[in-house]
A and B are shown apart, each in its own frame.
Chain A
Amino acid sequence: MNHHTGRHEPGGVQQGTAVYLYGVARGLDPGVLGGVTGVSSAAVRAVPAGDLTALVSTVELADFGEDALRDHLEDLDWLEATARAHHEVVDRAAQAAPTAPVRIATLYRDDGRVRQVLQEQHAQFTRVLDLISGRAEWGVKIYAHSEAFETCEPEPRPRTAGGRTGTAYLRRRQAERRSRQDASRRVGDYAQSVHERLIQYARASRRHPPQDQRLSGHAGVPVLNMAYLLDDEHTKEFLDTARRADAELTGVDVEVTGPWPPYSFIDTTDTAAGDRGGGGRPGRGEAP
C-alpha cells in the first residue's frame, strides 16, 4: 500500500503526477476499492487519516495540470468520462460507508498533502458525514407525453356550415386552447401532488432545473426534476409511493433514479436543512 506519487519535475508544468481526490469516507473498509478504476483508468486507493479515509488515484499532470484541465473541461467527451469515473469511485465507497463527494478535479501534490487536508478539515468532513450517514439521494423526474395533454371533453362542433363558420371556428379554437391549458394545469397539479406525497418520506429535497431533451434523450416533456434525501429505512415506502404515482395518470411517467451518493445535498448554502428533519424546500402550496 505504499504509493509514491507527486514527483516534481522542476520547470516542466506538464511533467509528473498529482493525486486526485474523489471523496472522503468514514469507517471505510479499503477492501471495497479493490479493482475500482478512477479517472484516466488509474487504480483507486485509500489514504486513511484517523476515522476518515480519502479516496484517491494518481493522475498525470499532462491531463490534469492547470492548462490541460482548462482545455479538457470544454470537451464534453472528456468531461463525461471523468464525471462517470468520479461518480463510480464515490458510489462504490458510498455503498459501503458514509461518503462525502468532493468537487470534481480536486488535486493534491501527493498522499501526504491529502492526509494533511483530512486532518485540517476534519470538522468540516465530520459535519457533512453526519448529515448524510444512513441516507441516500434519490432522483425523481416527471415526464408528460402527448396523451397527457389531450383533452377529455369532446370539442364543440360547428353547428352550421353557413355564414357563421368563421365565428364557430374561432370559438372552437378558443375552446381547444382552453382545454389544452386545463390539461397542462392538471399535469402541473399532479406533479405537485406527487412531490407532496414523496417529501413526507424525505429529510430534504432539492430541485434541479428540468433537463434539456437533447441531453436527456427523453421524449416526454420534463415537468419536474427533484432530488430527495432519504433515510435508508424510508426507501421502501418512498419507492412504493413513486411506483403508485407512476401508474396513476395516463401519459405521465414518474421516473426514479438512485440511490445516489448525496451529491445534491452537499455544499449548498443551506446544507443544514437536512438536520431540521423532514423539511423540504417549500414548494407551491407548501406555503405557510
Chain B
Amino acid sequence: MSEMPYTGARGPIRPAGERTGTSLADLLERILDKGIVIVGDIRVNLLDIELLTVKLRLLVASVDRAKEMGIDWWEHDPSLSSRARAEVEAAEQRDRLEHDRLAEENRLLRERLAALEAAAPPARQVGDRPAGSSGEAGHGGQEG
C-alpha cells in the first residue's frame, strides 16, 4: 500500500544515503529553485536565488562529453537549455555568415581575376595587384 517505504531502505544501492551522506550537489539542485513559491511577508528577492542557481549551474561540466555520447536531451528542454541553445544557434549563425561571406568573397575575387585576365595586357603578370588584393580581402572581410 501507499504506507510503504518512505522511511524504508534509504539509498539501497549506496547505503550511505543517510542525511550526513546527502551530497551537497544533490541537495542544492533540489532545494534552491524548487518548492512552492508563495509570497512571504519578507521580500526575498527570488532573483537572488535564481541567480545563485544559475551560478551553480554554470559549474555544470562535461556537457561536451555528454554530447559526444549522444546525450543531448536537455537541448530540447527549454528550462535547462535556453542559454545553451542560444549559444549553439549563435554559433551556427556565425558559421553560416562566415560561409556566405567566404563564398561571396570567392565570387568577387574570381570576377576580378577574370576581369584582370581579360583586360590586362599579358605583360602585367601575376605579381603585384591580384595577390595584394586577395590578401586584403582575406582579413578585411567587409563587403557591401
A residues sitting closer than 8 Å to B (CB atoms) are 18, 21, 23-24, 61, 64-66, 69-70, 73-74, 79-80, 83-84, 86-88, 91, 94-96, 100-109, 113, 117, 121, 124-125, 128, 133-134, 136-137, 139, 181, 184-185, 187-189, 191-192, 207-217, 221-225, 227, 231-233, 235, 239, 242-243, 246, 254-260, 263-264, 266-269, 281-284
Contacts and interface: CB of A to CB of B under 8 A. Distances in A.
A260 B17 CA distance: 11
Contacts, number: 226
Nearest to A65: B42
A282 B28 CA distance: 25
A282 B77 CA distance: 9
B81 to A, nearest CB: 9
**A interface secondary structure, majority:** mixed
Contacts of A18: 41-42
A188 B71 contact: yes
26 contacts: A21-B40, A69-B42, A79-B28, A86-B31, A103-B33, A103-B37, A105-B49, A108-B41, A113-B41, A128-B36, A188-B71, A191-B69, A207-B80, A211-B25, A216-B25, A217-B23, A221-B65, A231-B2, A232-B6, A239-B12, A243-B13, A254-B13, A259-B6, A259-B8, A263-B34, A281-B73
Interface string B2-32: 1111111111111001010011111111111
Is the interface on chain B under 10, 10 to 19, 20 to 34, or 35 or more residues?
35 or more
Contact of A207 (B9, B38, B49, B74): B74
A266 B34 CA distance: 7
B37 to A, nearest CB: 5
Interface in B38-60: 38, 40-46, 48-49, 52, 56-57, 59-60
Nearest to A76: B24
Given A73-B52, A284-B73, 17 more contacts: A64-B42, A95-B6, A104-B32, A107-B40, A181-B68, A188-B71, A207-B74, A214-B61, A215-B24, A232-B2, A232-B6, A233-B2, A243-B13, A255-B13, A257-B14, A267-B35, A267-B36
A124 B65 contact: no
B11 A107 contact: no
A117 B38 CA distance: 9
A223 B71 contact: yes
B70 interface: yes
B111 to A, nearest CB: 39
Given A70-B45, A209-B57, A211-B29, A192 B71 contact: yes
Contacts of A243: 12-13
A219 to B, nearest CB: 13
A255 B15 CA distance: 10
B36 A212 contact: no
Nearest to B17: A257
A8 B81 CA distance: 44
A96 to B, nearest CB: 8
B79 interface: yes
B63 interface: yes
A104 B66 contact: no
A243 B26 CA distance: 20
B72 interface: yes
B76 to A, nearest CB: 8
B126 interface: no
B1 interface: yes
A39 B31 CA distance: 14
Contact of A212 (B30, B61, B68, B74): B61
Given A70-B45, A80-B24, A139-B26, A106 B12 contact: no
